[in-house]
C-alpha cells in the first residue's frame, strides 16, 4: 500500500512539474508543493495547480492571481446542455460572444473587457471545462489541456497564464 501511494505521489508531482514548467520559467521564486505551485508576480500572489486526467478525462491547468477587480465577471463556453451555476453574477449580452456565456455585475466592465481582450478570451476559453472568473480578490483561469502530460508540446498552461496576466495588467 505504501508503495502504491508513493508511486501516485511521485507521478502526480512529475505531472504537475511538467504541466507548469512553461509558466514556472517566468517565476523565479516558484515553489512546488504537492498539488500546487506558489509564487509571486509583479507583487501579486500566484497559485498554479493542475487537475483532471482521471478515467481518461481531460487534464487542466488553473492559474489564480490575487488582484482586486472593480466587478465580478464569469466567462465560459456555451454548450447545448443548460449550464446552471449558482452564485454567479447576472447575464450580460456582449456583442461578438455568441459562443460564450458572459456574466458580470457591471455590464460596462464586461463590455470594456471584451472590447480590449475579447480575442484573447475567446481563443483561450474554447472547451466547456474552461473558465474565466474574476472576483473582488482574484483572477481565476482554468484551461483544459488536450494533450496528455507526457507530451512535450503544451500550450494550454501558457495560454491560461497569458490570459490571467493580461487581465491583471488591464485591471491595473
The residue extents of the domains of the chain are 2-171
Mean pLDDT for the stretch of residues 151-158? 69
The closest alpha carbon to 48, from 70, 77, 25, belongs to 25
Mean pLDDT taken over the chain:
83
Q: Is the pLDDT of residue 66 over 90?
A: yes
- Count the neighbouring beta carbons within 10 Å of the beta carbon of residue 59: 21
Phi, psi of 92 (to 5 degrees): -125, 135
Quote the CA–CA distance of 68 and 58 in Å, as a whole number: 30
How high is the pLDDT of residue 163? 92
Closest CA to 53 of 162, 145, 165: 145
Amino acid at each position: 500500500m505504501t508503495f502504491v501511494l508513493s508511486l501516485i505521489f511521485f507521478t502526480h508531482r512529475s505531472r504537475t512539474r511538467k504541466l507548469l514548467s512553461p509558466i514556472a520559467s517566468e517565476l523565479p521564486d516558484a515553489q512546488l508543493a504537492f498539488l500546487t505551485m506558489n509564487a509571486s508576480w509583479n507583487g501579486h500572489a500566484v497559485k498554479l495547480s493542475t487537475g483532471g486526467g482521471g478515467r481518461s478525462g481531460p487534464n487542466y491547468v488553473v492559474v489564480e492571481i490575487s488582484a482586486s477587480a472593480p466587478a465580478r465577471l464569469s466567462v465560459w463556453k456555451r454548450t447545448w446542455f443548460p449550464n446552471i451555476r449558482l452564485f454567479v453574477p447576472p447575464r450580460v449580452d456582449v456583442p461578438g460572444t455568441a459562443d460564450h456565456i458572459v456574466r458580470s455585475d457591471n455590464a460596462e466592465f464586461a463590455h470594456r473587457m471584451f472590447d480590449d481582450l475579447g480575442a484573447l478570451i475567446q481563443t483561450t476559453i474554447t472547451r466547456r471545462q474552461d473558465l474565466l472568473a474574476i472576483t473582488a480578490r482574484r483572477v481565476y483561469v482554468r484551461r483544459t489541456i488536450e494533450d496528455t502530460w507526457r507530451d512535450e508540446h503544451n500550450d494550454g498552461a501558457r495560454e491560461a497564464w497569458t490570459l490571467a496576466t493580461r487581465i491583471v495588467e488591464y485591471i491595473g
